[in-house]
C-alpha cells in the first residue's frame, strides 16, 4: 500500500522545502490547493497552502531517477552530436560517462533551485502597493493583516486606481478603520453600570476617574458613583477616593459579593455607576474566576469593558483578551497611547476578534486625556498614511468628551 502525505505552510516555498526535507525524491505531489483564510470575514486571516501526494518505494524512486538520468544523458549526447547510449552500455564508466554524471548532478541541483524559485511570489508590480506595505510594516501591523489589506485593494480596484497614490492610500485607510468596530451603548432602564477590568498596571483607576469627570462634571451633568473593589491595594483606593473628593463624586470600597450587591442597590437612583477592579494577571485563572464571580453581584445589565495598554506586546494582547473572555466584556479601552508610536499591532490583534473599541486614553491628566474611539482618531495615530480626514470626520462623527477643559 502506498504511503500518503499532506503538508501545509504559509507559502508555496515553505511547503515545498518541507516536503523535500522530509521525503526527498520519494515524494510524488498530486494535489495543490489553498486553504481559505479564517479571520474576520476571511479578510485578515492566515491563508495556507496544502500539498498532497504519495511516497514512492525505494525501488520506484531509484527507477524514476534512473530513467530521468538516462533521458538527460540522451539529451546531452544529442546536443553534442553523439548517439545516445544503449541501455546495456549505461554501466560503462569511461571518461565521457563521468563527465556526463557531473553535468547530471549540476542539473539536479539547478532543478531543485528552479523549483523553489518558481514558488517564490513575484515582486509587487504596483509601486503604490509596495510603498503602502512598507508604511504598514513601519506601523507594526502584522504580516497577515497587511496581506489582507493589499489583497482587498487588488480585488476592488483596477490597474489605473492601483497606480494612484491618493486613491489607494485613502482606500487603505478606510479598510483599516473598518477592520475594527466601535462600541455603541444600549439604552437601559435604571443606572448604567460600567465595570472596568484588565491586568495590573494598565491604568484602570485613572481611566475610571476620567470617565467620572467627563460624565459628572460636563455640561449635561450625570449623577455618578464610583465603587472600587481594589481595596487590597491601599494606594489605589486612596487615589480613587482623592479623585472622588475633588470631583464631589461619592466613592465606596467593597471587599466581597454581598457588599458589592448592597452598594449597587444603594446607588440605584444614580445615572452612572463606575466599578473599578483590582488588576489580575491573565495567567492567574483562579483569581480571574474569583473576580468574575464577585462582579456578578452587579447584575446582568452591567457592562464589562477590558482595559489594554497600548504598550503590550502582540502575543500578550491576544493572551489577555482570551483569558478575560469569561467576563463577556463588551469593548476594549486602549490606554497609554502616549507611550507608543506604533498601533498597527493593536489593530491587527483586535480586528481578528470582532470586539469593538470604546475609548482611547493617552496620558495621566484627568479628565482631558480620554476620547471616544472612532475611525479618524484611530487613523490619526498611523504614520505615513495619507487620507482625507474630512471624509472620515463627516462619515464617522464622534463626541468630544473633553472640549470644555481645553
Residue from 149, 108, 110, 105 nearest 129 by CA: 149
Alpha-carbon distance of 78 to 281, in angstroms, equals 73
Look up residue 399 and give its three cell numbers: 463626541
CB burial of 304-317 (b: ≥16 within 10 Å; e: otherwise) equals bbbbbbbebeeeeb
Alpha-carbon distance of 364 to 207, in angstroms, equals 9
Does this model's pTM top 0.85? My answer is no
Alpha-carbon distance of 62 to 69, in angstroms, equals 10
Residue pLDDT, tens place only, 64-109: 666 666 666 666 556 555 555 555 444 544 555 666 666 666 666 6
In the block, residue with C-alpha cell 546495456: 88
> Does the bond joining 7 to the residue before it have cis omega, within 30 degrees of 0?
no
Q: Which pLDDT score is estimated for 181?
A: 94
Sheet holding 3-9, edge to edge: 3-9, 48-55, 27-35
Sign of CA dihedral 202, 206, 210, 216: positive
Alpha-carbon distance of 151 to 82, in angstroms, equals 52
Neighbouring residues of 285: CB distance < 8 A, sequence distance ≥ 6: 323
Sheet holding 224-228, edge to edge: 251-253, 224-228, 272-276, 192-197, 303-309, 331-335, 357-361, 370-372
Task: Give 10-residue mean pLDDT values along the chain (406 residues).
Answer: 77 77 76 64 60 73 63 60 53 56 66 56 75 94 93 90 92 95 86 93 91 83 87 64 88 92 94 86 75 92 94 88 92 94 92 93 86 93 92 87 69
Residue pLDDT, tens place only, 230-281: 655 555 677 788 888 888 999 999 988 999 999 999 999 999 999 998 765 6
Amino acid at each position: 500500500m502506498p504511503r500518503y502525505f499532506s503538508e501545509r505552510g504559509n507559502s508555496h516555498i515553505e511547503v515545498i522545502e518541507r516536503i523535500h526535507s522530509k521525503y526527498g525524491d520519494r515524494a510524488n505531489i498530486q494535489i495543490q490547493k489553498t486553504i481559505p483564510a479564517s479571520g474576520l470575514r476571511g479578510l485578515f486571516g492566515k491563508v495556507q497552502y496544502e500539498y498532497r501526494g504519495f511516497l514512492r518505494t525505494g525501488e520506484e524512486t531509484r527507477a524514476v531517477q534512473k530513467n530521468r538520468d538516462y533521458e538527460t544523458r540522451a539529451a546531452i549526447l544529442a546536443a553534442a552530436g553523439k548517439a545516445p547510449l544503449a541501455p546495456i552500455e549505461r554501466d560503462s564508466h569511461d571518461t565521457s560517462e563521468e563527465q556526463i554524471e557531473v553535468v547530471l548532478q549540476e542539473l539536479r541541483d539547478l532543478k531543485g533551485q528552479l523549483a523553489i524559485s518558481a514558488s517564490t511570489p513575484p515582486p509587487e508590480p504596483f509601486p503604490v502597493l509596495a510603498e503602502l506595505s512598507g508604511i504598514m510594516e513601519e506601523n507594526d501591523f502584522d504580516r497577515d493583516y497587511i496581506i489582507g489589506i493589499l489583497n482587498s485593494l487588488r480585488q476592488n480596484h483596477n490597474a489605473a486606481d492601483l497606480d494612484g497614490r491618493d486613491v489607494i492610500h485613502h482606500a487603505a485607510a478606510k479598510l483599516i478603520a473598518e477592520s475594527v468596530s466601535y462600541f455603541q451603548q444600549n439604552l437601559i432602564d435604571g443606572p448604567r453600570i460600567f465595570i472596568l477590568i484588565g491586568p495590573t498596571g494598565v491604568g484602570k483607576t485613572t481611566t475610571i476617574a476620567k470617565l467620572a469627570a467627563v460624565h459628572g462634571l460636563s455640561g449635561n451633568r450625570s449623577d455618578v458613583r464610583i465603587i472600587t473593589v481594589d481595596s487590597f491595594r491601599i494606594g489605589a483606593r486612596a487615589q480613587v477616593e482623592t479623585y472622588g473628593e475633588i470631583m464631589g463624586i461619592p466613592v465606596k470600597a467593597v471587599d466581597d459579593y454581598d457588599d458589592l450587591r448592597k452598594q449597587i442597590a444603594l446607588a440605584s437612583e444614580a445615572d452612572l455607576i463606575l466599578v473599578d477592579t483590582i488588576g489580575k494577571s491573565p495567567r492567574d485563572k483562579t483569581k480571574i474566576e474569583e473576580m468574575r464571580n464577585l462582579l456578578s453581584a452587579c447584575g446582568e445589565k452591567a457592562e464589562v469593558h477590558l482595559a489594554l495598554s497600548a504598550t503590550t506586546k502582540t502575543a500578550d494582547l491576544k493572551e489577555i483578551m482570551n483569558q478575560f473572555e469569561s467576563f463577556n466584556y463588551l469593548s476594549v479601552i486602549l490606554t497609554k497611547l502616549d507611550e507608543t508610536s506604533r498601533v498597527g499591532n493593536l489593530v491587527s490583534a483586535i480586528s481578528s476578534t470582532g470586539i469593538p473599541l470604546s475609548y482611547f486614553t493617552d496620558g495621566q491628566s484627568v479628565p482631558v486625556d480620554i476620547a471616544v474611539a472612532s475611525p479618524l482618531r484611530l487613523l490619526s495615530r498611523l504614520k505615513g498614511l495619507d487620507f482625507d480626514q474630512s471624509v472620515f470626520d463627516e462619515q464617522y462623527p464622534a463626541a468630544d468628551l473633553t472640549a470644555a477643559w481645553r
